Structure 1
């Protein structure tokens, strides 16, 4: 093994500066395990570079020979791969000139590719460039930031309103005014409580899979869910219709599935036009049981369909706030169905309505 490989392995396994952040603990362990093999396992410089799990490129001092391993070549395709190659070549050239490179690159999607590029000079042997795919990490960081901002807003708004109403109530003697202000205080406190309840429920479904499984008659479950929303639907002259197959059954957590269906029916009633129809339907198939909640409401724009299951995402923020929605209901639905080994599908047409379809495998694991 020549000097270049010795330097390369020492750097990757033991301490090139950009590994110090702790982000590369797993790749280093893999590198150490893979290079500690019999000599016949790596007959050339290219063999050693190619087996490394980290996207890596090395170049000689004259920039005549550039080696890029499989991990780097497989990181992107099409036009993104061309842009990535240009970025790597540019970083290698800078490194040969004694300039250390450490930057974040973003390539358009969909889906976008976000990488950290690090390059440096190998003493007397050339230069190296390493890429770390941080797309998922960046996405998670963005979701975490959005979540904190959203939850802060969702709780601050009703709490702030209660404080203002309480201040207005102080010293008030008119019975009608007192009744009006206390009624609004109750509404705002219920809104905050609903947000907290939904957060707790979402957290529970995200973190664990329920062990409270049982055989559930879907028709009975749909009728029970319908009963919970009969009064709200009557006030809007909305008809809830149950079209259930008597043979439709699912295996799972009754409370979780009822909660998921309740969120769908709640949305269907809230966003349906007066005198509309909400249909709860179940079909027993050979491999799965399908449960549908369809409405004749305002519908969902096609541009929003990919995001409606995100926490706190609202298609119409003003309307959602007016109906008391927290923006967590569909996130709960998705996690409940996923926990049961199922999938969620949605079709919608603006001005005509939406249909949510839950598919549960015949032997769902809840």
Structure 2
């Protein structure tokens, strides 16, 4: 810059930069007078009651910052929609202070999911480990062969439960990443056939008939065969687990001009209306006691949802408590040129 170049108005430049920020910023002078308030902070002041709470918190923390104390406060607003805002006040070198008001809702939501996930994984693994430990202590020194056989059988069941949880976690992690998808032209009739083959032994043991309606060469999509089999097998297995003996489970492949849908219908216990929106969450269980009895990990429907997302599709459910449920996995169709 030459001596003749105009001097940049740093104050105006700072105002422009701060106005471009997505969070609210308020700057006070050392005497407590307001020096600057950016556009977001201005919109908060005097707005809705919830935003006024944020403004009040900022004023309270700024008083502390003028005394040289840095502080922060998180405010949860019930909504709807639920929001979480963080207010932070920092002392400045010239004796003034700055307050920053930031919407951290998404960060908070991710932290909540992470916390719940760790807690659920810990519980799901700790329960069978604890059971195996107690059973092993009981067996130690036991001379009754019949009792030992019964206890070791129970240990095998608990070990298998732990193994299923780990397998489902690994499968969910792999599918969530979506980076290893091997997309090819896939006939959904083949996917359904493979899925039925996986679940058939469970259905036979429980006495639940499986009825399949699909036609080869009609329902073609572009996708990962193994992910799709995992999704459909989870849906069919769920239907079998929550069906009573002789109650048929229907699996249908339905095509439209643009999509291919696989519908899995059972005549089981159904899903309460207040749980329908949550059943695709990791580890969510409508009935924890029944789920333990059926051996579910609570990860199957989360796997289905991620497979649908990876394929540009969606999964939906229709259910009436006491009458059964129908899950519909819908994937965009590959149209053949004539």
Aligned residue number for residue 228 of structure 2: 257
Query: Structure 1 residue 148 and structure 2 residue 123: aligned?
Result: no
Name the stretch that deviates more: 333-342 or 42-51: 42-51
Residue 204 of structure 2 is aligned to residue 234 of structure 1: yes
Cα offset for 1:317?
Answer: 0.8
**1:324 equivalenced with 2:295 (yes/no):** yes
After TM superposition, give the deviation of residue 40 of structure 1 in Å: 8.4
1:292-329 deviation per Cα after TM superposition (whole angstroms, max 9, x unaligned): 22211112222222322222221111111111111111
* TM-score (norm. length: structure 2): 0.83
Q: Select 1:266's aligned residue among 215, 230, 237.
A: 237
Match of 2:18 among 31, 36, 49: 49
1:3 corresponds to which residue? none
- TM-fit CA distance, 1:152: 1.8
Tell me the secondary structure at the aligned position of residue 277 of structure 2. Answer: coil
Distance (Å, rounded) in 1 between the aligned partners of 2:44 and 2:320: 39
Q: Is the 8 A contact 2:75 2:85 kept in 1?
A: yes
1:219-252 deviations in Å (ceiling 9; x for gaps): 2321232233233323433222222254112221
Structure 1 position 131 matched with structure 2 position 81 = no
Matches within 5 A, 1:210-221: 210-221=180-191
Separation in structure 2 between the aligned mates of residue 62 and residue 163 of structure 1, nearest angstrom:
64
Matched residue, 1:286: 257
**Any gaps of 5 or more consecutive residues in structure 1?**
1-37
Distance (whole Å) between structure 1 residues aligned to residue 230 and residue 42 of structure 2: 45
Q: What does residue 297 of structure 1 align with?
A: 268
Q: Would the aligned equivalents of 2:76 and 2:82 in 1 still touch at CA under 8 Å?
A: yes
| Alignment RMSD | 3.1
Kept after mapping to 1: 8 A contact 2:268/2:325: yes
- C-alpha spacing 1:164/1:89, structure 2 compared with 1 (3 Å): closer
Deviations 1:95-154 (A, max 9, x none): 567765421111113432112211246677965321122222222222222222222221
Deviations 1:146-195 (A, max 9, x none): 22222222122212222222233334343432322221121111111111
Distance in 2, Cα, partners of 1:174 & 1:42: 87
Asked if residue 199 in structure 1 is aligned to residue 130 in structure 2, the reply is: no
* 288 and 74 in structure 1: CA distance in 2 versus 1, 3 angstrom threshold: farther
State the distance in 2 between where 1:285 and 1:96 align: 66
Indicate the residue corresponding to 1:5 in structure 2.
Answer: none
In the superposition, relative to structure 1, how do residues 63 and 228 fare at CA in structure 2: closer, same or farther (>3 Å)?
same
Q: Which residue of 2 aligns with 1:33?
A: none
Contact 1:122 1:128 in 2 (8 A): yes
- Contact 2:27–2:96 (Cα < 8 Å) also in 1: yes
Aligned residues: 326
Give the alignment's TM-score, normalised by structure 1: 0.77
CA contact (8 A) 2:44 2:55 kept: no
Aligned partner of 1:167 among 112, 127, 137: 137
Aligned mates of 1:154, 1:62 — CA distance in 2? 54
Give me the whole-angstrom Cα distance separating, in 1, the residues matched to 2:26 and 2:117: 37
SS at match of 2:263: strand
